[in-house]
A and B are shown apart, each in its own frame.
Chain A
Amino acid sequence: MKGKNIRVFTYLMVCMLVWCVVFVPKGAVAEKEPIKIGVIYVMSGAHAMYGLNAVAATEIAIDEINKAGGVLGRKLSYIARDDKMNPEVGLREAKDLVLNQKVSLLSGVLSSGVALAMSAYAKESKVIFFNSMAHTPKLTNEEGHRYFFRWCTNSTTQHHSGAKACAKYWGDKKVVTVAPDYEYGKSFHEIWWKHYPRYVPGAVNAGEIWIPLGTKDMTPYITKLMGLNPQLVACALFGGDQIAFAKQAEPFGTYKKFHFYGASDGDTYTLHPIKRGEPGTEGAIACSRFPYWMEITPKSAAFTKKFQEKTGRVPVFDALCHYISIHAFKDAAEKAGSLDTEKIIDALEGGIFDTALGKIEMRACDHQFQTPLWIGIMGYTPDFPYIHTTQFEKFENPYANYDTCKEAMELRKKQ
């Protein structure tokens, strides 16, 4: 009798197991699993703040989406990795996230070098890659493909818009460029000299100054600049390099003697540590990609508030782009009614997204979001203790001077 009971029990257990394997819908378990987003950014060293801000923005977006019911009934989660600004590390982390962690979306990246490496992998593995800060035009032009989408501005719109604004406001002919000595600086130089002479006929390149990343002592570069004696200094330095340059150039009388264009001076990352009364680029024309104090939309004001509460820091452009991209993923998946990669891409292409910067199109031809930027004059207002962009009314804001679809596709064909 005892043996019979054991046989019956074993039989029942086997039946239950078979029933579970055969009849329980596979999706029922899978649908409860969260959708994973892989966030790859630099999170150590001099640029660690970019990664930490992107993670904060990711958490804000995911929290909002999950509280509103998730994406097609599933929650979002994220896994963050440090690329150390190294393409090999970025690629290794991307592969791990896709192959082992099974992420549905790769996102992030500050460095264009890392972005190019990851973009090639995204194409090969057919995984969507949302870029929120790498700026080289190559990513959406020559190297663009179906699986890559850029949510931030690119170098073309940043420097073309800067050239246009400087030409209209000052129209100087003798120009010296100051640029970081790597891909971003090179693309700045090319874009500046492609567009500026169109607006100022007869403009001449009176000299080029190339500064390696992380240079502390700018004095030899500044003494050279003073010797070149231009009318306009067009400068594409950013972050700590631009802070060092701004501080060290001021005692030489640079900003009084020459007109100055600071491509990144208006971004809160760059000069906001410079407080009133300290040497800064007062009077310079500068791009600002997220003048958060303008409260561009109610969504931008809400993001600003949440970001400040979460981090205790002022909101920054790349964090905003990261935030926008995650919300866009949700919108696209819901529009597609599926989490299928190809269907989401179809929904993203040409889609108009209601973002913190307004209603903006994800251009279908090159997957470049038509993100706007603002140009103003660096100065002080009673609202802030630090230098920032002011007098926006003097320019044709907002600017969006991207390559046309035709130009982008011609460059892609040449590849």
Chain B
Amino acid sequence: MSIEALIMQVLSGLSTGMMIFLIAVGLCLIFGTVRVLNMAHGSMYMLGAFLCFWLTSILSNIAGSFWWTVILAPLGVALFGLVLEVVLFRRLYPREMIYQLILTFGVILLVSDTCKLLWGVEFHLVPYPRPLNKAVTILGALFPTYNIFLIIIGALIFVGLWALMRYTRLGRIIRAVTYNREMVSALGVNVPLTYTFVFVLACWLAGLGGVLTAPVSAITLGIDATILIECFIIAVIGGLGSLTGAFIGAIIFGLVNSFGILIAPRLAICFNFILMAVVLIIRPWGLMGKPE
């Protein structure tokens, strides 16, 4: 096998990993801070994708409509997340996980049927945005510019979130709330507001993931379910609740998937599940997580 083919496979693996990272990171954030296993996180991604389709359609006469959508659609999803958190989720934080799961399952059905009602059951497409609709030549082979953009944006989001957590007061509060909610509350920090911020940020990230992956795929009902499974694999490998874990988990996921396809195509789908099982057996808290 040529070195060019290997590099292409690495790039495509990174591209896959970063696409899923954009969505998985929100799931990890919510679980790490708020301790809610948000099964409806995939629905936020789907809502972002549908909003992207809808906004690009109505803004089609405006130059750079996709880039306006990148700003507006995740904000729409974040707003929806805010309403959900304030009206529903906030009441269930002290309850057992089973109640949270039932609620999030209800939200999945709500979002799915709303999308069905608003946008129908057909496949919807969003064109590649200019100027990323071309390909670049790498070692004599073509590779889509948009996929390179996704790799860069994924890395930038990780660096941005890491810097937010590491160097800002808000980040320190979020980390403190994660470690000891009662102590932080006693120090006068508004913990419910911190939870709301994290929840809304995670929804914004899922919405952004939905928008940025929209040009490469078909937008339809059911895309929430498939992405959620991949997000959980990443979260388990990297460590549920860990930001760095989600990033490393996403890269591992993408590369294992990519080289699995190259080496044993019929078994490619199994490799990430096998890896997840191995991590669960050897290190149940994930590669970058911390034992409870």
Contact = CB atoms under 8 A, between A and B. Distances in A.
A256 B259 CA distance: 26
B258 A252 contact: no
Contacts of B225: 45
Contact of A278 (B11, B116, B125, B268): B125
Among A46, A49, A222, A244, residue most surrounded by chain B Cβ atoms (within 10 Å): A46
B142 A252 contact: yes
A177 to B, nearest CB: 11
A197 interface: no
Instruction: Name which of A222, A240, A275 has the most chain B CB atoms within 10 A of its CB.
Output: A240
B196 interface: no
Contacts of B1: 227
Interface stretch (A88-96, A206-214, A337-345): A206-214
Interface in B103-148: 112, 116, 120-125, 127-128, 133-135, 141-147
Contacts, number: 128
Contacts of B5: 223, 227
Interface size range of chain A in the complex: 35 or more
B257 interface: yes
Contacts of B217: 216-217, 240, 243-244, 247
A334 B266 CA distance: 50
Interface residues of B, number: 51
Interface stretch (B12-20, B28-36, B71-79): B12-20
B221 A251 contact: no
B160 interface: no
Contacts of A45: 221-222, 225
Contacts of B15: 217, 219
A45 B9 CA distance: 31
A220 B123 CA distance: 23
22 contacts: A44-B221, A49-B120, A181-B269, A209-B261, A214-B222, A214-B223, A214-B226, A216-B216, A216-B223, A216-B226, A217-B216, A220-B9, A221-B261, A223-B8, A227-B2, A239-B123, A241-B218, A243-B217, A244-B218, A248-B216, A275-B125, A278-B127
Interface of A: 44-49, 52, 181, 208-210, 212, 214, 216-224, 226-227, 239-241, 243-244, 247-248, 251-253, 273-275, 278-279, 313
Given A217-B15, A226-B142, 15 more contacts: A44-B112, A46-B221, A48-B116, A49-B122, A208-B265, A210-B265, A214-B223, A221-B261, A223-B9, A243-B217, A244-B216, A244-B218, A247-B215, A251-B128, A252-B143
